[in-house]
Amino acid sequence: MSEQRPETAAERPPHGVVVVGAGMAGVQTAVALREQGYSGPVTLIGAEPHQPYDRPPLSKAVLLGKAEDSAFDIDFEALDITLRLGLDVTGLRAAAHELDTPYGPVPYDALVLATGAEPVGLPGTEGVPGVHLLRTLDDAARLRPVLERQRDVVVVGAGWIGAEFTTAARAAGCAVTVVEAADRPLAGSLPAEVAAPMAAWYAESGAELLTGVRVDRVEPGAVHLTDGRAVPAGAVVVGIGARPATGWLAGSGIALGPDGSVLADASLRTSLPDVHAVGDCASFPSARYGERLLVHHWDNALQGPRTVAAALADGRPRTYDPVPYFWSEQFDRFVQYAGHHAGADALVWRGDPAEPSWTVCWLRRGVLVALLAVSRPRDLAQGRRLVEAGARVDPERVADPSVPLKSATL
C-alpha cells in the first residue's frame, strides 16, 4: 500500500479573500470584489448574528421604532459571497495564513480587516443597570423601550452620537440632560468658535446641556457629577468616543498606532503581506493633508473598500487619499463636513451661526481645505469639489452667502 502524497500549494483549493467585519466597510469590500471582476471565493465574517446592516439608522429610524432593522439590501447568495455570522475572530497567524476562531481556523489567500471601531465605555459603569452604549442593532433594541417609556435620560458626551441620540430622545418625549466634560459640544472635532454656537441647539430642543463637568458615579436612578449635583436618570447613554476594534490583533505582527488603529500604507496595505485594512479600524497616510488620518465615518467605510477591491482583483495597488466627508442629522439640522481643517490659517463664515443655516470655511494659504455646512447642502456639494481640486478662493466672495462657492475661485 503506497503512501498518499501530500498536496502541494498549487494543488490546494483556493481560499480566496476573507473579510473580517460585516459592517459597511466589510460588506462594501465583498461587493466591490465582485463588481471589479474578482471570481475567487469571498468569505465575509461577522461577529454579530444579524444579517449585515448599516449603522447610521440606529440612532434615528431604528431607535425611534420607525424601522425594525437596517439590513443591507444585498443578495449575498447571488453574488456568491459566503456569510459566516455570529463568529468571533480571536487571532491572526500570518505564517499559516489563518484566522483563529472558536470553531477552528479559517484559512485565507488574501485578508481584509474591516472590524470597525468599538465605543469607549464610562469608567466605573461596566455592568451597571441602565447604562447603555449605542453602536449595534442590539444596543438600539435595548434603548428603544427607554424612549417609548419617556424615561429621564442622561447622555454623557456632547459629540456627534450624543447629539443624534439627544435629538431622537427629545422627539420621543424624553427629558434629556447632556453632560459634557469640555466647555462646549464637539470639542474634540471642531474649534471653539465653530462649536460654541451649537450649544444653543440643545436648549432649543428642550434638552439641558451641562458643560465643564464630569460624571463622578452612576447609581440607580441618578447620575452624580463632580460638582456635587445629582441628575435624575431612568437611563444613561454614553457617547464619549470610539476606538479601533483591533485588540484581537495583539501578537499578530500587524503594526498598530498609539490610537490602536491598523497602520495601513497609502494603498491600505498593512505591515503583513496579503493583508489590507479598511474603514474605522485603519489609519492611512494622506499626501493631500501631510499627516496620517483615522476617519471614523461612513463615507470612508464606503470608499476605502473600492480601492482595496480593485487592487485584489487585478494585483495593481491604488493610492487612497480621499477628502474626508461625513454628515449628521441633529436638532432639525443637516450638518455636513468635507475636508480636514487641521493646519488651516484662516476661517471664513458664510452666514450667521445664530440662524438655522450657515457655513464655515477653512483656508490654508488661500486654498479651501475644509468646510462645515449646516442645512446648506449646495455649499457642501460645491465646496467639496473645490477642496478635492485644491482650489484657491477669494475670501471676500466666500464670505458672501449669496455668491455660490463655485464662483468664489480665483
Tell me the three state secondary structure of residue 349. Answer: strand
The pLDDT value given to residue 388: 96
**Predicted local distance difference test score (pLDDT) of residue 9:** 45
Mean local confidence (pLDDT), 338-346: 95
pLDDT at 66: 73
pLDDT over 90 (residue 17): yes
With bands split at pLDDT 50, 70 and 90, how would you rate the model's confidence at 116?
Answer: very high
Provide the pLDDT for residue 5: 47
- Say which CATH topology domain 121-240 has: FAD/NAD(P)-binding domain (3.50.50)
Q: What is the CATH number of domain 17-118+243-314?
A: 3.50.50.60
Confidence (pLDDT) at 171: 93
14, exposed or middle or buried, with CB in 10 Å at 0-12, 13-18, 19+? exposed
Parts of the chain belonging to CATH 3.50.50.60: 17-118+243-314, 121-240
Residues 74-92: pLDDT tens digits? Answer: 999 999 999 999 999 999 9
User: What confidence score (pLDDT) does residue 12 get?
Assistant: 59
Q: List the grid coordinates of 227.
A: 460638582
Q: Give percent of the chain with pLDDT exceeding 70.
A: 97
Q: SS3 sequence, 37-52?
A: CCCCCEEEEECCCCCC
Dihedral, CA of residue 331, residue 337, residue 343 and residue 344, to nearest 10: -90
Residue pLDDT, tens place only, 230-275: 999 999 999 999 999 999 999 999 999 999 999 999 999 999 999 9
**What CATH homologous superfamily does 332-407 map to?**
FAD/NAD-linked reductase, C-terminal dimerisation domain (3.30.390.30)
Residues in a beta bridge with 80: none
Higher-pLDDT residue of 56, 147: 147
Mean pLDDT across 133-145: 90
Q: Classify burial at 387, counting beta carbons within 10 Å of its beta carbon; exposed 0-12, middle 13-18, buried 19 or more.
A: buried
Q: How far is CA 401 from CA 176, 360, 406, in A?
A: 34, 10, 12
Range list for CATH 3.30.390.30 in the chain: 332-407
Tell me the average pLDDT of the chain.
Answer: 93
pLDDT (tens digit per residue) in 208-230? 999 999 999 999 899 999 999 99
- Residue 325 pLDDT more than 90? yes
- What's the confidence (pLDDT) of residue 2? 39
Q: Distance between CA 124 and CA 256 in Å, rounded?
A: 27
C-alpha cell at 263: 497602520
- Local confidence band at 108 (pLDDT 50, 70, 90 cut-offs): very high
Hey, which bits of 194-318 come out as E strands? Answer: 208-211, 215-219, 222-225, 230-232, 235-238, 242-244, 262-263, 275-277, 282-286, 291-294
Instruction: Please give the Cα distance from 198 to 160 (Å, whole number).
Output: 11
Whether the per-residue pLDDT at 357 is higher than 60: the answer is yes
> pLDDT at position 8, please?
44
Verdict on whether the full-model pTM lies above 0.75: yes
Span 357-375, average pLDDT = 97
